[in-house]
Chain A
Amino acid sequence: MSEIATATPQGHIEVKNFSLSYETIDGSVEAVTNTHIHVKPGEFVSIVGPSGCGKSTFLNAVAGFLKPTTGTITVDGERVSGPSAERGMVFQQYSLFPWKTVRENVEFGLKMRGMPRSQRERAARTLLGLAGLEAFEKHYPEKLSGGMKQRVGIVRALATGPKVLLLDEPFGALDAQTRVIMQQILTNMWQRLKISVLFVTHDIDEAIFLSDRVYCMTARPGSIKAEIPIPLERPRQQSMMMSSEFLALRRGLMSLIREESLKAMGGEINDLGMQGLNIELHGHSLADVI
Chain B
Amino acid sequence: MSSSPAILRHQDDAMPAAAAVTEPTPVPVMTPTPAPPSFGALAGRWYRLNQDSLRATAIGVISLAAFLLVWHLLTTYRVVFFVRFTNVPSPLAVYASFTKAIHDPKFLLHILLSCRRIFFGFSLAAIVGVLLGLIMGRFKLVHEIVFPVAEVLRPIPAIAWVPMAIMLWPTNEQSIVFITFLGSFFPILVNTLHGMSLVDPVLVRAAQCLGARERSIFREVYFPASLPHIFTGLTIGMGVAWVSLIAAEMISGQYGIGYFTWEAYSLVQYADIALGMIAIGVLGLGSSLLIRGAGQLVMPWRAK
Contact = CB atoms under 8 A, between A and B. Distances in A.
Contact of B202 (A93, A98, A99, A156): A93
B205 A83 contact: yes
Contact of B216 (A82, A84, A112, A140): A112
A85 B210 contact: yes
Given A89-B205, A112-B216, A142-B301, A95 B200 contact: yes
Given A112-B216, A140-B301, A97 B209 contact: no
B212 A112 contact: yes
A95 B210 contact: no
A160 B202 contact: no
A93 B205 CA distance: 12
Interface string A201-226: 00000000000000000000000000
Interface string B209-236: 1111100100011001101000000000
A88 B203 contact: no
A190 B212 CA distance: 24
A109 B210 contact: yes
Contacts of B209: 63-64, 83-85, 87-89, 157
A156 B205 CA distance: 13
A91 to B, nearest CB: 6
A95 B208 CA distance: 12
A46 B300 CA distance: 39
A65 interface: yes
A271 B300 CA distance: 52
B205 A65 contact: yes
A113 interface: yes
B211 A84 contact: yes
B108 interface: no
A interface bracket (residues with beta carbon within 8 Å of B): 20 to 34
Which has the most chain B C-beta neighbours within 10 Å: A84, A85, A95, A140? Answer: A95
B210 A99 contact: no
A128 B81 CA distance: 71
A108 interface: yes
Contacts of B213: 112
Q: What is the interface of chain B mostly: helix, strand, loop, or mixed?
A: helix
A108 B301 CA distance: 17
Contact of B211 (A91, A93, A160): A160
A97 B220 contact: yes
Contacts of A65: 205, 208
Most buried by A among B211, B216, B227: B211
B205 A99 contact: no
Contact of B210 (A98, A140, A156): A156
A83 B202 contact: no
A7 to B, nearest CB: 22
A89 B206 contact: yes
Contacts of A85: 209-211
Given A91-B206, A108-B220, A98 B301 contact: yes
B93 interface: no
3 nearest A-B residue pairs (beta carbon) = A85-B211, A109-B210, A83-B208
8 contacts: A95-B203, A95-B206, A97-B207, A99-B301, A100-B301, A101-B301, A108-B212, A109-B211
Given A63-B205, A84-B211, A99-B224, 20 more contacts: A63-B209, A64-B208, A82-B208, A85-B210, A85-B211, A88-B210, A89-B205, A89-B209, A91-B202, A95-B206, A97-B220, A108-B210, A108-B220, A109-B211, A112-B210, A112-B211, A112-B213, A113-B211, A140-B300, A160-B211
Interface of B: 200, 202-203, 205-213, 216, 220-221, 224-225, 227, 299-301
Interface of A: 63-65, 82-85, 87-89, 91, 93, 95-101, 108-109, 112-113, 140, 142, 156-157, 160
